[in-house]
Amino acid sequence: MRVLFIQALSVEGTSQERVYPIGIVILAASLRDRGYEVDLLDMNIEPDPFGAVKNKLNDFRPDVVGLSLRNIDPLANKTSSLIPPFLVTVKLVAAVMPRSWIIAGRDISRESLPYRYCYPRCFPPGPRL
């Protein structure tokens, strides 16, 4: 089984802020140790983040796509939300890989907009891998 983990945009525009996606790196290592074929993409370090997602999906052809959203706002006293670009990412994954499962981190709950968008194609909250 092929699993692609994507660190969704967690900064607004160009930023020097870089946060290592430790959560998905740990998950990827754990799955790789169990025989899964795993790849990672951090949208925050890509010059064309959505183009990079599309290319990675087409090249890797994952069975499961795990999306990680570090926070829903870009911090630094900004008032915008990172949910809209997250939803664009979900929609892009669903359009390019319509048969792949889309899963999201545990903080994406039934009440959140991203979960409502991808349900029922996403695994419901519950047991973790």
Is residue 110, in this structure, part of any structural domain at all? yes
pLDDT at 75: 55
Segments forming the whole domain that contains residue 61? 2-81+104-118
pLDDT at 83: 76
Is residue 87, in this structure, part of any structural domain at all? no
Look at residue 125 and tell me whether its pLDDT is greater than 60. no
pLDDT at 29: 95
pLDDT at 23: 86
- For the chain, the domain total comes to 1
Is residue 128, in this structure, part of any structural domain at all? no
The whole-angstrom separation of Cα 17 and Cα 20 is 10
The whole-angstrom separation of Cα 23 and Cα 55 is 23
pLDDT digit string, tens, across residues 57-73: 999 999 999 998 876 55
Look at residue 19 and tell me whether its pLDDT is greater than 90. no
Give the distance from CA 32 to its chain's centroid: 18
Query: Is the preceding peptide bond at 120 cis, omega within 30 degrees of 0?
Result: yes
Is residue 125, in this structure, part of any structural domain at all? no
Look at residue 112 and tell me whether its pLDDT is greater than 60. no
Is residue 92, in this structure, part of any structural domain at all? no
The whole-angstrom separation of Cα 36 and Cα 28 is 9
Q: Which residue has the higher pLDDT, 6 or 129?
A: 6
Residue 43 class from Cβ within 10 Å (0-12 exposed, 13-18 middle, 19+ buried)? buried
Is residue 86, in this structure, part of any structural domain at all? no
The DSSP letter of residue 39 is E
**Long-range contacts formed by 49-57: CB under 8 A, 24+ apart:** 49/9, 50/88, 50/89, 50/92, 53/6, 53/89, 53/92, 53/93, 53/96, 54/92, 54/96, 56/4, 56/6, 57/4, 57/92, 57/93, 57/96, 57/97
Most confident option among 14-23, 91-100, 113-122: 91-100
